[in-house]
């Protein structure tokens, strides 16, 4: 158990030093990183059972899209509270308790008898999951050298992609052996076990960092939300958040929600092949995210790497939706892998957020970016469902034609294109000093 604060004196060089040693840092990060892996499995699971849910609940595509998207409606605004809580209380208690909330959502989802209760379960899952990725990076930012933050953000994302692949492929195999309701109850038990693990392994912040935060942060003038208010005063944070959100949107809207149906009904793939095709998106992210993090930690060229990765995503989406057909369906695998490689650039946005905000607002800056990211995913999932119903004139999965999907999914390459434009507005700057006194200056 690593609860007692250590490191009363800051290291001489916070960009290269390990405040509590390497073992403390890796163990502290590992627990919430495993939680993020698990959370991502829970997040993408509806894409595997979406058709079954629509049939069992007699729901339209728009209704399924809305209720499954409630995960993101909870996740997105919760980020603002998550950031303030992490800055105020550190990582251990907030992240550990969030896993209990996620477990309760899994239980509610498992016993739901209507589409509304399914949505309520997804909402609770989103509330709990809101702490996972941001919590892992926040804990790492306290115990790892600053020069390794982008790499750790990428490595955390890679673990999340393992969860996504498990949700797409392994979960499909598990659901052949047991009812989906039983599987959700098992996931609830795993969430409780992870809560215990995080309580044991996540230490309190280094004492010097807590003292620094108290002197300039949420404990002094402005209350618990001072950090998030400081972040929201900076125009560059708004531009960064929207750019990251637009770049990430195709991952969850397509690969985590509508991809299986598109691949099966438009490209005539088998359900197993469609699940593998969606999974390669997450494989691409899992490979590119830590590599881009490592490279940009060494070079500092975060925005340049984000622009190149976004361009790759745009090309892959256009070819996938408007060139590949049932006769060339196998091209979906390299194209969706390329989409994943390009989407890995999203993690660099979190490193930029830390760089351009002070120590007292680390959690708030990370959460603000993630809030925009998940908020637009919710809107995207719901909007695609509405457009599919609108263009097809029906709510049946079998009624959606290729043209219906092409029109509805056009919002995804357009979102990436807009993201590229916003990235040219941003100007990355060197990491801020300890007190972050220039946080609110114009960019």
pLDDT computed for residue 301 by the predictor: 86
3-state secondary structure of 304: helix
Q: Alpha-carbon distance 253 to 412, whole Å? A: 8
Length reported for the chain? 443
Q: How far apart (Å, rounded) are the C-alpha atoms in residues 400 and 266? A: 8
Residue-wise burial string across 84-109, b where 16 or more C-beta atoms lie within 10 A, e elsewhere:
bbbbbbbbbebbbebbebbbbbbbbb
Per the listing, tokens 């946005």 go with 349
Among residues 148, 158, 159, 161, the alpha carbon closest in space to that of 294 is found at: 148
Q: Which tokens sit at 330?
A: 């196998």
* Per-residue model confidence (pLDDT) at position 436: 46
Q: 280 or 47, which is more confident?
A: 280
Q: Which of the four pLDDT bands, split at 50, 70 and 90, describes residue 12?
A: low
Give me the mean pLDDT over the 164-179 stretch: 76
Instruction: Dump the DSSP string for 320-373.
Output: HHHT--GGGGGGHHHHHHHHHHHHTTHHHHHHHHHHTS-GGGHHHHHHHHHHHH
The angle subtended at Cα 125 by Cα 119 and Cα 129, nearest 5°, is 145
> What is the per-residue pLDDT for 177?
81
Dist. CA 68–CA 71, nearest whole Å: 6
Using only the alpha carbons of the chain, give its radius of gyration: 21
> How far apart (Å, rounded) are the C-alpha atoms in residues 414 and 224?
37
pLDDT at 214: 65
The pLDDT, as a whole number, for residue 88 is 79
Entry pTM: 0.74
The beta-carbon contacts of 169-172 under 8 Å, at least 24 apart in sequence, are 169/275, 169/276, 169/279, 171/41, 171/45, 171/48, 172/48, 172/271, 172/272, 172/275
Give Dmax over CA atoms of the chain in angstroms: 66
Distance CA 341, CA 229 (A): 34
Model pLDDT, residue 435: 43
Helix ranges (DSSP H) in 204-270: 207-216, 226-232, 235-250, 259-265
What pLDDT was estimated at residue 440? 35
For helices 61-89 and 92-111, the axis angle rounded to 10 degrees is 160
Q: State residue 59's pLDDT score.
A: 76
Overall average pLDDT of the 177-197 stretch: 91
What is the set of domains in the chain, with CATH numbers?
A: 22-423 (1.20.1250.20)
Rounded CA separation 321/210 (Å): 50
Mutual orientation of helices 332-343 and 235-250 as an angle, nearest 10°?
160
399, pLDDT greater than 70: no
Task: Quote the tokens at residue 81.
Answer: 């509270």
Task: In whole angstroms, give the CA distance from residue 303 to residue 423.
Answer: 7
Q: In this model, does residue 51 exceed pLDDT 80?
A: no
Name the least confident of 91-100, 252-261, 397-406, 433-442.
Answer: 433-442
**How far is residue 270 CA from its own chain's centroid?**
28
Alpha-carbon distance of 165 to 276, in angstroms, equals 8
Q: Decide if 41 contacts 171 (C-beta within 8 A).
A: yes
Residues 206 and 115: their CA atoms lie apart, in Å, by 46
């Amino acid at each position: 158990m690593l609860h007692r604060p250590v490191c009363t004196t800051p290291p001489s060089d916070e960009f290269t030093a390990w405040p509590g040693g390497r073992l403390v840092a890796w163990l502290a990060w590992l627990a919430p990183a495993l939680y993020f892996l698990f959370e991502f499995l829970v997040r993408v699971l509806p894409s595997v059972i979406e058709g079954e849910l629509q049939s069992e609940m007699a729901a339209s595509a728009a209704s399924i899209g809305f209720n499954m998207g409630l995960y993101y409606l909870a996740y997105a605004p919760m980020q603002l509270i998550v950031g303030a809580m992490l800055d105020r209380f550190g990582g251990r208690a907030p992240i550990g308790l969030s896993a209990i909330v996620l477990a309760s959502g899994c239980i509610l989802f498992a016993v739901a008898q209507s589409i509304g209760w399914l949505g309520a379960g997804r909402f609770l899952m989103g509330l709990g999951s809101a702490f996972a990725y941001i919590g892992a990076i926040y804990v790492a930012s306290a115990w790892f050298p600053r020069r390794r933050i982008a790499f750790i953000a990428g490595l955390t994302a890679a673990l999340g992609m393992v969860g996504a692949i498990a949700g797409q492929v392994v979960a499909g195999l598990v659901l052949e052996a047991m009812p989906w309701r039983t599987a959700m109850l098992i996931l609830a038990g795993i969430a409780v076990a992870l809560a215990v693990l995080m309580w044991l392994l996540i230490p309190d912040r280094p004492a010097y960092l807590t003292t620094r935060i108290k002197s300039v942060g949420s404990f002094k003038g402005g209350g618990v939300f001072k950090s998030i208010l400081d972040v929201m005063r900076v125009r560059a944070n708004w531009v960064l958040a929207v750019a990251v959100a637009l770049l990430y949107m195709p991952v969850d809207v397509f690969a985590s929600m509508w991809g299986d149906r598109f691949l099966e009904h438009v490209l005539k793939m088998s359900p197993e092949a469609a699940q593998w095709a969606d999974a390669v998106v997450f494989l691409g992210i899992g490979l590119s995210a830590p590599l881009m993090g490592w490279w940009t930690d060494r070079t500092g060229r975060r925005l340049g790497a984000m622009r190149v990765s976004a361009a790759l995503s745009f090309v892959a989406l256009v070819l996938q939706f408007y060139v590949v057909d049932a006769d060339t369906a196998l091209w979906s695998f390299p194209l969706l892998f390329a989409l994943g490689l390009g989407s890995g650039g999203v993690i660099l946005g979190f490193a930029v957020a830390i760089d351009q905000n002070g120590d007292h607002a680390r959690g708030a800056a990370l959460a603000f970016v993630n809030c925009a990211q998940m908020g637009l995913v919710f809107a995207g999932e719901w909007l695609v469902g509405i457009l599919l119903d609108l263009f097809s004139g029906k709510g049946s999965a079998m009624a959606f034609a290729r043209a219906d999907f092409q029109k509805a999914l056009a919002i995804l390459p357009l979102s990436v294109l807009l993201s590229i434009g916003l990235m040219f507005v941003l100007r990355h700057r060197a990491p801020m000093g300890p007190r972050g006194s220039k946080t609110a200056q114009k960019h």
